[in-house]
Structures are given as structure tokens and as C-alpha cells.
Amino acid sequence: MQQTLYEKVGGEEAVAKVVDYFYSELVLKDETVNRFFEHTDMEKQKSHQTKFISFALGGPKQYTGKSMAKAHEGLNLQPEHFNAIAKHLHDALAHFGVEEADIDTALTKVASLRDDILYK
């Protein structure tokens, strides 16, 4: 039986570390996107994002937050914002030793949400 990408990266604990690094070391230090998180409860955001990314990687469906379109409503995110976040996710996964092929799989799933996130 083949492992899911979620299992391969180490499960929820590993995803939580990636998400923490993603926000703390990359997103919140990037002036092109950090303003979108100025009034965000980051602990809650990290928890939601851990559950969402876990599900996106083939883990258990624990994410019960808003739809992607609803969560990004009123932000008017542009392609450059989406691309910056995708690059940060790539870099966070790579930082924790996830193989490039697996990162590509994860980013393909994220890219499928692009239309639900942009221009809302």
C-alpha cells in the first residue's frame, strides 16, 4: 500500500512545523504579503492552515473552516500575492527536506485553488 504524501512528510506534527516556519520565517517577513495578516490571530491561522494542508496532502479531513473563496473575500489578492505564498510554501517544505517531486504534487493541489482565491 502506497503512503500518502501526508504520511510521507511525517503527519500532522511535521505539517505543523512546516506551517509555523512558513508563517514565522517567510510570510510574515515578506512585505509583499504580510499586510494581509496584520489583524489575524496567527495561532488560529496556523491551526487552520495545518489542518488544511494536512488534508491537501492526503491526510484526514479535519479542516472545517470557510471555503477558499469566502476566506479570501475582500482581500483582492493578485497573482503576485498567490505566487509569493506558493513560493513560500515550496521553500518551507524544502526547508524540512520534502523531495522536490512531492513539493510539486503539493503545489499542484494548491494551484487548483487559484480561481477561488484571486480577485475576491
Identify whether 5 is part of a domain: no
Range of the domain at 81: 10-117
pLDDT digits (tens, 9 = 90+) for 17-46: 999 999 999 999 999 999 999 999 999 999
Identify whether 71 is part of a domain: yes
Query: What CA–CA distance (Å, rounded) separates 57 from 74?
Result: 27
User: What confidence score (pLDDT) does residue 40 get?
Assistant: 95
The CATH number of residue 15's host domain is 1.10.490.10
Query: What CA–CA distance (Å, rounded) separates 54 from 28?
Result: 21
Identify whether 4 is part of a domain: no
Identify whether 87 is part of a domain: yes
Identify whether 58 is part of a domain: yes
Q: Which residues contact 78 (CB under 8 A, 6 or more apart)?
A: 118, 119
User: What confidence score (pLDDT) does residue 14 get?
Assistant: 96
Give me 1's grid cell: 500500500
User: What confidence score (pLDDT) does residue 52 get?
Assistant: 84
User: What confidence score (pLDDT) does residue 98 get?
Assistant: 93
Residue ranges in the chain modelled with pLDDT below 50: none
For the whole model, what pTM was predicted?
Answer: 0.91
Identify whether 2 is part of a domain: no
Concatenating the DSSP letter of every residue in 17-76 gives HHHHHIIIIIGGG-TTTGGGGTT--HHHHHHHHHHHHHHHTT------S--HHHHTTTS-
Identify whether 106 is part of a domain: yes
The domain tally of the chain equals 1
Q: Looking at this protein, which amino acid is placed at residue 28?
A: L
